[in-house]
A and B are shown apart, each in its own frame.
Chain A
Amino acid sequence: MRSFGLISIRSMVAAVGMATAMTLSVSASATPGVSDREILVGTIQDLSGPIAMLGTPVRDAMLMRFEEANQAGGVHGRMLRLAVEDAAYDPKRAVLAARKLVQRDQVFAFLANMGTPVVMATMQMIVDSGRPHLFPFSPHELTYTPLHPLKFQMFAPYQDYMDAAVRHMVGANGYRQTCLLYQDDDYGLEVMKGVEAGLAKIDMALVERTSYKRGATDFSSQVARLRAAGCDFVVLATVVRETVAVMAEARKIGWEVDMLVTASGYSAQTHELGGDAVEGLYGVTVLPHPYAEGADPALADWIDRYRARFGVAPNVWSAMGYTIADLFIQAADAAGPELTIEGFVSAMASLHTEGDIFGGPAYRFSPDDHLGNRYGRIAQIRDGRWEVLTDYVD
């Protein structure tokens, strides 16, 4: 009995010692996704769904930036690895993807999750698991407000910059009858709120508004309706294809009206597909499109490298993906060699950048404000390409 008791006490001591040692070793390497050699970052993209055209270049450009950083020795000696899950813009698949990335892959942070439905379905789960939720492609306020230590955003909500852009356009061009054509979903409604708020500030109101469902093919009735209302300025809450279709319809019926499209319609595709019909279209842009023609040497070199790596020319989404990955690297670098989530988010919350090779804005994060940029610029299609007309308007 005595010996048994002794053994028991010894084994208990040993067990407690082991448990303590394990706890210590766990807390020493408790930062998920971070080892001595590697930082694993997760992203939920759309590579096969309705916005795969956005998701693919974003993923490619993030990979490219990570590969470049790795070739340059990584971040404090750690290689960056991107774990990509395809949710195809489907919230149900996104939840599974987020769970996999958190539990099985043990990623350090989530970067550039694609699409508002995806983000709304997964964001809470991600921050509850203690992972930073960085720069999702969802211009929704909830991605940075109310202030949360783990949420950071660089894309302003449509509401914010469309408010400013509409006021600027009306002020500069003296429009009297502003109208709106919007996609009948969260995106369109968000833009509508911004346009209404902007007009209210200058004591005006929308004269006519008309909507379409995603996937619509015919815009003749909407354009006829806007024309009948006597609009002299039409704001488009459309994406590329609809923008071209609406402009073409207006030109077909001989209606020369100024139109302004949100950043979702600001794409090189708009003038490539629209040709003459979209000449003169105004657009809001946050990052300029990386045109090869007339690019400065740094940008031209980047375009060449992108082309060599992926076999296609980069677009504005590639520039966004690259910028997002770059911001992550800057913050991880600033967090120092002992990378923890607390250290990383505190570095992120004081990150200030000074523009980039694309001509993007300077991002300013602070402990009280996790939205890096609030403003857009006005651009116009002239001679078949987007020309930026203004600085960031507020």
Chain B
Amino acid sequence: MLRRMITFMQVLVSGFATGCIYGLVALSFVLIYKATETVSFMQGELLMVGAFAVLALNVGAGWPLWLAALCGVAGMVVLGAVLERSVLRRAIGQPHLTAVLLTFGLGMMMRGSVTTVPAASHSMHRLPFPFAGETLTVGPVPVAAEHVAVIVATVLLAAALTLFFRHTRAGLALRACSENPRIASLMGVSVSRMHTLAWALGAGLAACAGLMLAPVTFVHLNMGLIALKAFPAAVLGGMTSLPGALIAGIFLGIAEAIAGLMLPEGVKDIVPYALLMIALLLFPSGIGAAFARGGARLAR
């Protein structure tokens, strides 16, 4: 019985950590969607390029890992901003599909550029995190250090984002812009700057998710595939709710892991999507909206 409990806890923690990464990528989807009404299909590629950028600075240029990570993420923020200024801005006013296809194309270009580096396309790489491969024991439950790191980093990032959106001018302006760009611009908020900021943040968040994924799945060309799981999380969260996206990501991660342990073989792969459908039937506007309604009811 104890052994079963321990196994259950182990799987739960792994699922939670995986869910955090789904959640972070989902956050980046939602951040961009809320501010610009564009579904970005290049988040997976941004995640991959971010991880490769850190790898290049660390292994290629020999920078210490913390500096490489900082500069890599900062570089991705700049890349997001530059892409918005140079390319994505031109899709404003065009049909939705234009922007979607544009992000697809940009993603393919990013992927293509990484494949031109022989060392990148030949193999997978590891970032030398000090905790990689270590095991911690929490009570009787052995937990991978990288999973703990992922959870801690997600909590810190979520806290930083909350502070940013609640207490900084730029964060408030971005929120205002997401709620109603017309009124925001009447209030003196530069909508186009906010778009740049949203893409920059979206790219930065994707890069952070890439960094967290690196010790779990290593750095390789296909690490961006995780976006396929993160997108349902974003939808489940309601596409417009930042906490909703994070919670939905964690929910999917845990559901997937527990289903793999408890349910008959072959069922686990259906579970996240079945749950997604049920949740959308029950809460058509997403988990985030359902939570918000619940909160409002409680407040009344």
Q: Is residue B225 within 8 Å, beta carbon to beta carbon, of the partner chain?
A: yes
CB of B124 within 8 A of CB of A240, answer: yes
Interface presence of B297 (CB below 8 A): no
Interface residue A263 (Cβ < 8 Å from any Cβ of B): no
Query: Most chain-A CB neighbours within 10 Å: which of B119, B122, B226?
Result: B122
Q: Does A56 contact B (CB under 8 A)?
A: yes
Instruction: Evaluate contact between B257 and A218: CB separation under 8 angstroms.
Output: yes
How many Å lie between the Cα of A50 and that of B223 in the bound state? 10
A110-118, A122-130, A205-213: which lies at the interface: A205-213
Shortest C-beta distance, A281 to chain B (Å), equals 15
Q: A56-B118, A312-B119 in contact; A273/B124 too (CB < 8 A)?
A: yes
- CB of B94 within 8 Å of the partner chain: no
Q: What 0/1 pattern do residues 23 to 34 of A give for CB contact below 8 A with B? A: 000000000000
User: Cβ of B220: which chain A residues have Cβ within 8 Å of it?
Assistant: 53, 241
Could you say which residues of chain B place their CB within 8 Å of the CB of A217? 18, 21, 213, 216-217, 226
Q: Does B253 contact A (CB under 8 A)?
A: yes
Whole-angstrom distance between the alpha carbons of A275 and B266 in the complex?
Answer: 31
B123 CB-CB contact with A under 8 Å: yes
Q: How far is the CA of A309 from the CA of B144 in the complex (A)?
A: 41
Q: Indicate whether B222 reaches chain A with its CB closer than 8 angstroms.
A: yes
In contact, A218 and B122 (Cβ under 8 angstroms): no
> In this assembly, does A11 line the interface, its C-beta being within 8 Å of a C-beta of chain B?
no
B236 interface residue (CB < 8 Å to A): no
A70 at the interface (CB under 8 A from B): no
Please report the C-alpha to C-alpha distance between residue A276 and residue B124 in the assembled complex, in whole angstroms: 17
Question: Which of A56, A220, A244 is within 8 Å of B122, CB to CB?
Answer: A56
* Interface presence of B288 (CB below 8 A): no
Query: Nearest Cβ distance between residue A359 and chain B, in whole angstroms?
Result: 22
B195 at the interface (CB under 8 A from A): no
How far is A17 from B292 in the complex, measured between Cα atoms in Å? 88
Stretch at the interface among B6-14, B99-107, B177-185: B6-14
* B205-230 interface with A by 8 A CB criterion: 213, 216-218, 220-222, 225-226, 228
Q: Is there a chain B Cβ closer than 8 Å to A202's Cβ?
A: no
Residues in B with CB closer than 8 Å to A60 are 118
Which chain B residues lie closer than 8 Å to A240 at the CB level?
Answer: 124
Instruction: Name the interface residues of A180-235: CB closer than 8 Å to any CB of B.
Output: 184, 209-211, 213-215, 217-218, 220-222, 224-225, 227-228
State how many angstroms separate the Cβ of B53 from the closest Cβ of chain A: 19
Interface residues on B, range: 35 or more
Report the nearest B residue to A254, measured CB to CB. B142
Given known A-B contacts A225-B261, A241-B218, A241-B220, A312 and B118 have beta carbons under 8 A apart: yes
Q: Is A277 an interface residue (CB 8 A)?
A: yes
Cβ proximity bits A42-82 to B, threshold 8 Å, 1 near / 0 not: 00000110101100110010000000000000000000000
Is A311 an interface position by the 8 A CB rule?
yes
CB contacts (< 8 Å) of B213 on chain A: these are: 217
* Inter-chain contacts of A213 with B (CB < 8 A): 269
The answer to the question of B15 belonging to the interface, with a C-beta cut-off of 8 Å to chain A, is yes
B15, A218: Cβ atoms under 8 Å?
yes
- Nearest residue (CB) in A for B261 is A221
In the complex the two chains form, what is the Cα distance from A311 to B117 in whole Å?
10
Is A310 located at the chain interface by the 8 A CB criterion? yes
Closest to A219 in B: B14
**CB within 8 A of A269: which of B17, B124, B225?**
B124
Chain B residues contacting A245 (CB-CB under 8 Å) are 216-217
Minimal beta-carbon separation of A321 from chain B (angstroms): 12
- B-chain residues with CB within 8 Å of residue A227 when the two chains form the complex: 7
The answer to whether B126 has its CB under 8 Å from any CB of chain A is yes
Whether, in the assembled complex, A315 has its beta carbon less than 8 Å from a beta carbon of chain B, the answer is yes
Give bound CA distance, A48 to B253, whole Å: 29
Q: Please, how many angstroms separate the alpha-carbon atoms of A222 and B260 in the complex? A: 7
* Interface of chain B residues 253 through 281 with chain A (CB within 8 A): 253, 256-261, 265-266, 268-269
Q: From known contacts A48-B115, A312-B119, infer whether A221 and B268 are also in contact, taking CB-CB under 8 Å.
A: yes
CB distance from A225 to the nearest CB of B (A): 6
Chain B residues, Cβ within 8 Å of A214: 225
Within 8 A of B (CB), among A247-301: 248-249, 251-254, 269, 272-273, 275-277
- Judge whether B142 and A220 touch: CB under 8 Å: no
Interface residues of A in 110-167 (CB under 8 A from B): none
30 contacts between A and B (CB under 8 A): A50-B222, A52-B115, A52-B221, A53-B122, A53-B123, A53-B220, A210-B260, A210-B265, A218-B15, A218-B18, A218-B256, A220-B14, A220-B15, A220-B257, A220-B261, A221-B14, A221-B15, A221-B261, A224-B11, A227-B7, A240-B124, A245-B217, A248-B133, A249-B14, A253-B10, A254-B142, A273-B126, A275-B133, A312-B118, A312-B119
Closest 7 pairs between A and B when the two form their complex, measured CB to CB: A221-B260, A220-B14, A215-B225, A221-B261, A218-B18, A224-B7, A220-B11
